[in-house]
Amino acid sequence: MFRTMENLSYTTTVILAGGLGTRLRSVVPGRPKVLANILDRPFLAFLLDQLVSADIRDVVLCTGYMADDVYKEMGDTYKSLRLTYSKENIPFGTGGALRLALPHLNSDPVLIMNGDSFVNIDLTVYLNWFFKKNCQASLLLTNVPETSSYGKVVVAEDDLLLAFEEKGVNSGPGWINAGVYILKKSLIETIPAGTPFSLEKEFFPKLVNKKLYGFRFDGKFIDIGTANAFAMAEEFFLSI
């Protein structure tokens, strides 16, 4: 039985935690990116704490690279969360990993989070906005002073997402994809099964100016995917 908006705690959350983390290996050797140590805690714990605060209960971890290490560290529960694992044996990309996890998704819609980024937001605000908007797909957008390293997102006044601009095309302040999505299951089911597929490059661009909306939130954001960004992570979390 799929749950909807009666109780946000029934919203299944997927964390995409299978990345290879090749750009971080010089500073985080021998560990998957989601277990990178920050303030004596794995980065993943900060995402899980955010879900605990939102009273979410059901989390699916999409693992791949060093998947067994993630399970050994996190186990089947974290505080009030129940952790389920969807393990890919070959790299399927963000979209392929999400599609593989489909049998574990017990709500409609589903909240999805990248396992290497964090935005300081009360997730219940985002979820409530989605239900009131009555849309099928959304991205959480955050404002940064320099978009060239991320790629800029163009959004209309009614929140309809109009365009993605590639990294390095334009500089200056603007809205970027913060790596937190809400998707209806019917859209997840359109992702081809058993093959590599990218949410960012193949899935979301097809929804632009049609079904995809952006929730703009001006909160602190970090992506730990590079050594330079990871070096700022402790200061970031201490500041919030």
Q: Which CATH number is 220's domain given?
A: 3.90.550.10
**Structural domain contains residue 32:** yes
Residue in 237, 227, 239 with CA at minimum distance from that of residue 50 = 237
**Structural domain contains residue 161:** no
The token pair at 86 is 């969807």
**Structural domain contains residue 81:** yes
pTM over 0.85: yes
The token pair at 191 is 């992702």
Residue in 225, 193, 214, 232 with CA at minimum distance from that of residue 99 = 193
Encode pLDDT of 198-207 as tens digits.
999 999 999 9
Number of structural domains found in the chain: 1
Encode pLDDT of 14-26 as tens digits.
999 998 767 776 6
Encode pLDDT of 47-74 as tens digits.
999 999 999 999 999 999 999 999 999 9
**Structural domain contains residue 118:** yes
Is 210 considered catalytic here?
no
Is the Cβ–Cβ distance between 91 and 126 less than 8 Å?
A: no
Q: Which of 72, 167, 201, 206 is catalytic?
A: 167
The parent domain of residue 56 ranges over: 8-147+178-239
**Structural domain contains residue 163:** no
**Structural domain contains residue 1:** no
**Structural domain contains residue 166:** no
Q: For 204, list phi and psi in degrees, rounded to 5.
A: -65, -40
What spatial distance separates the first Cα and last Cα of the chain, rounded to whole Å?
37
Whether 2 has a pLDDT exceeding 50, the answer reads: no
**Structural domain contains residue 105:** yes
Question: Residue 46 and residue 68: Cα distance in Å, rounded?
Answer: 20
